[in-house]
Amino acid sequence: MSGASELAETLTDGAGEFSFGALATREALIVVRARGFQTLEQKWSGDRIEAANLRLVLAPASLSEALIVTATRTETRLNDTAASIVTLSAAELETTAAVTLDDALRQVAGFQLFRRAGSRTANPTTQGVSLRGTGASGASRALVLADGVPLNDPFGGWINWGRVPRESVRSVEVARGGFSHLYGSGALGGVINILTRRAAAPVLSLEASYGNQRTPDASLFIGGRKGSWGATLAAESFRTDGYIIVDEDARGRADTRAGSRRASLDLMFDYERDDDARFFFRTSYFGEARANGTPLQTNRTHLRQWSAGGDWSQSMLGDFNVRAYGGTQVYDQNFSAVAPDRNSETLTRVQRVPSQFAGLSAQWTRSFATRHTLVAGVDAREVRGASDEIVFVGGRAASLVGAGGRERSAGVFVEEIAQLTPRLTLAGGVRFDRWRNYRAQNATRPLSPNALTSASVFIDRTETAFSPQGSLLYKPRENFSLVASIYRAFRQPTLNELYRNFRVGDVLTLANENLRAERLSGGEFGINATAFKRRLDTRAVFFWTEIARPVANVTLDATPALITRQRQNLGRTRSRGLELELDARLSGSWALTGGYLFADARVLKFPADTGLEGLRLPQVARHQLTFQLRYANPARFNFGLQGRAAGAQFDDDLNRFRLERFFTLDALVSRRFARSLELFAAAENLLNARYSIGRTPVRTVSPPASLRIGLRLRFLSH
């Protein structure tokens, strides 16, 4: 409409309702904007439509409209980057049956934890994430961030997935491929960035549920603002009795339920000055205790962290952001040896792992001549950690073993994004990293009389890494684009891999203080296409990666009572394959998303043991398929159906312990019964599939069907 002007602006409440009050007009255009949804425009006439009966339905944003920050470290439209990105909005996460974030992320083809087990019952040291068949292990081969601050365990590299309360999650971005040019170590196979909510107005959001296996769960988010000051509080509590993880045919009296309980708390204060500056301080706590399937095998985690930072924008100088963080963690774990008949167990190790960490990052972003964007920054981190053990022999304490060290790392990076023409965009970045392992040692003190203490002091070691990246995006048509990228990436070994031994079942894995960094070289080529007025988005990506000196658990000796392995650098591995994605908006209420990954991951070279050459990488399935069907109609009900299938894979380096293929189905249905109240029912593993999750060498199996019912409360003032 010519001569148009804004008459009023408002926010919806938690039930999606809004009011403008009396307007001095008989005709207007209503514009509705919400993050994660397409902008809606609808004409309104006071003569023909009663405001009380006005109903507006938003459609989820198409992939081409989504805004992402992870791929370039600056806000970019998804269809303007060559990176392979999956975004999960809050609406998509709410229609998944999963009660934990890692299980919700299994919607992304190629997302995998060690031994197929989720964080509800798995030992935390097995919760490292890998993408695209880079090879799952305890340490992650992908970097996980929460609002730009790393979540990877500072000592071991695994992820405590319950640290971020679900109600505080706004969206999750999964970037696949090598991203060390922007994020350094850990981003070998990609980056997962969890973006949390902010409160523009007073808000309270609560989800609570109860399920079988005596599983209560509650997640809370509260926030508000007064002038320039704002505060948010997020908290979560979860407990489950779990299930007996050992296959029924092999169980004995020593096998008990693998359950867990955890709690997390996150408190943030922030100050905003107009639209050009924001400063915040955040403190968080995470505590967890687990039973790992026998009476003696338990572990506990206590983690405290703080972070602070600021974002500042100036039209002439550009955008600046700074983040600082630090914290402490104590991890306790007991190990045991289970008798062959599994009717008894004997304590073998009691372990305590204290660690401290601190980090700092700074970034500058500026656009030039409307078509060039420059991003530059630095970051640094220091970690201290140790493994203090009591070793038991025959059920009696025999010796004290201590090992540990320190790690200090720093990196500097620069990236340019150039839109050379309206159809052609080039991006390139380089990063240089240097890190040092120092003050590392190992000592063993037998507890028998007159025994001598043995000690080893490891030499200080320094390594560097150069990580270049280049990408191209060509759009011959608005609804069709070609993308290509080449990159190098790296991952430095964690203090856990260097200095801590561990045991799972009848498998003992030894540390190796001589490990060197993994180095990845790779590239990809893809095609993106949209059709039917952007109601259908498709993506196909062919990728190839090779990792030099990957860290693997290599079998040294195998007996009926014990398998001994050690972390070693293999010569070279390769993962290559095809990634397919589909996002279809079937109607205003129905949506279908899906993904397929083919990954051929093998050992190419290992001179120390040529028998491993040509074998498949452990924990990598050749075929993975996911889909999610969603129906959203607040006036009636919401529905989500998720399916996941994976081909067979191996649990060991020798390809002796095969884990069969599987298919699972989850579902969630919810209905609003009052303005701010929604009830839901969710089921995971509807078909009660009992597939193998590990062979140690005893077969452990997946959880049975899980059912829960719950409620959601949403209150928003405006």
Q: What is the pLDDT of residue 49?
A: 43
Count up the domains in the chain and report the number: 2
Rounded to an integer, the average pLDDT of 247-272 is 95
Q: 281 pairs with which residues across the strands?
A: 269, 308
Q: What letter would DSSP give residue 288?
A: E
Are residue 339 and residue 358 in the same domain, yes or no?
yes
Handedness of CA 607, 609, 614, 619 (dihedral sign): negative
- pLDDT averaged over the chain? 89
Are residue 21 and residue 138 in the same domain, yes or no?
no
Report strand pairing: 143-146 vs 190-196. Answer: parallel
Rounded to an integer, the average pLDDT of 494-522 is 89
Are residue 35 and residue 123 in the same domain, yes or no?
no
Distance from C-alpha of 670 to C-alpha of 712, rounded to nearest angstrom: 9
Q: What is the per-residue pLDDT across 199-256, written as a single tens digit (0 to 9) for each?
A: 888 999 999 999 999 999 999 999 999 999 999 999 999 999 999 999 999 999 999 9
Q: 196 pairs with which residues across the strands?
A: 169
Q: What is the pLDDT of residue 562?
A: 83
Q: What is the per-residue pLDDT across 558-577, written as a single tens digit (0 to 9) for each?
A: 888 788 989 999 999 999 99
The pTM score is 0.89
Report strand pairing: 507-510 vs 563-569. Answer: parallel
Indicate if the pLDDT at residue 54 is higher than 80: no
pLDDT tier, 51 (very low <50, low <70, confident <90, very high otherwise) = very low
| E strand or H helix at 279 | strand 277-291
Are residue 444 and residue 463 in the same domain, yes or no?
yes
Q: 323 pairs with which residues across the strands?
A: 309, 361
**Residue 65 amino acid letter:** E
Quickly tell me which residue has 């408190």 as its tokens. 267
Domain C-terminal end among 41, 58, 75: 58
Structure tokens at 286: 């995470």
CATH number of the domain that residue 119 is part of: 2.40.170.20
Distance from C-alpha of 565 to C-alpha of 359, rounded to nearest angstrom: 33
Judge contact between 155 and 115, C-beta under 8 A: no
Indicate if the pLDDT at residue 74 is higher than 80: yes
Are residue 664 and residue 533 in the same domain, yes or no?
yes
Are residue 442 and residue 485 in the same domain, yes or no?
yes
Are residue 188 and residue 51 in the same domain, yes or no?
no
Judge contact between 545 and 77, C-beta under 8 A: no
Indicate if the pLDDT at residue 16 is higher than 90: no
Are residue 324 and residue 211 in the same domain, yes or no?
yes
Rounded to an integer, the average pLDDT of 424-435 is 96
Residues 6 or more apart whose Cβ sits within 8 Å of residue 686: 664, 665, 666, 667, 705
Domain C-terminal end among 12, 35, 58: 58
Indicate if the pLDDT at residue 115 is higher than 90: no
Are residue 582 and residue 659 in the same domain, yes or no?
yes
Judge contact between 471 and 485, C-beta under 8 A: yes
Which of 44-58, 346-360, 679-693 bottoms out in mean pLDDT, i.e. has the lowest?
44-58
Q: What strand order describes the sheet that includes 169-176?
A: 84-89, 169-176, 190-196, 143-146, 149-150
Its domain, for residue 16, covers 1-58
Q: What is the pLDDT of residue 50?
A: 46
pLDDT tier, 136 (very low <50, low <70, confident <90, very high otherwise) = confident
Which of 34-43, 113-122, 310-319, 584-593 bottoms out in mean pLDDT, i.e. has the lowest?
34-43
Judge contact between 584 and 555, C-beta under 8 A: no
Distance from C-alpha of 166 to C-alpha of 338, rounded to nearest angstrom: 37
Q: What is the per-residue pLDDT across 460-484, written as a single tens digit (0 to 9) for each?
A: 999 999 999 999 999 999 899 999 9
Are residue 531 and residue 607 in the same domain, yes or no?
yes
Judge contact between 65 and 76, C-beta under 8 A: no
Quickly tell me which residue has 């006005």 as its tokens. 54
- SS3 string of 538-555? EEEEEEEEEEECCEEEEE
Q: What is the per-residue pLDDT across 23-33, written as a single tens digit (0 to 9) for each?
A: 556 677 777 75
